[in-house]
Amino acid sequence: MIQHPDKNYIDPIKVEIHDQQAYCFHVDGELDGQPWYYDIKKFLETREYPENATNKQKLTLRRMANHFFLNGEILYRRTSDLGLLRCVDVTEATRLLEEVHAGTCGPHMNGFTLAKKI
């Protein structure tokens, strides 16, 4: 700690606690029965926007679609190191996690290695 030039008091740091995380890596459910990537995949296939989409939503969809690659029926997301991540729905993600966690794909490993393997 250092002393403040004018006084011996240091202002406290304000910390906000939120109920939810700012980001999410796990898809909990599919609200409308479609996978989370349905609109992106449909846009890449047909170049058509979802019904009732606002201009802001259309712009966001175009920007997001730049990071994805469609190979037949399989959708991939491009990474910064030019790798491809396969997009999966909730059921396939659950199956993959169960298989990897059960050890069928190799020995147990740390979190980072496990995530890369998945």
Q: Where are the domains of the chain?
A: 34-87, 89-118
Which residue from 70, 51, 53, 72 is spatially nearest to 61, judged by alpha carbons?
53
Q: Angle formed by the axes of helices 55-65 and 38-46, to 10°?
A: 80
Q: Tell me the longest C-alpha to C-alpha distance in the chain.
A: 67
Q: How far apart are CA 43 and CA 67, in angstroms?
A: 13
Predicted pLDDT at 7? 64
pLDDT score of 76 more than 70? yes
Which residue from 116, 26, 40 is spatially nearest to 75, judged by alpha carbons?
40
pLDDT score of 40 more than 70? yes
How much is the pTM? 0.64
Which residue from 65, 77, 59, 63 is spatially nearest to 39, judged by alpha carbons?
65
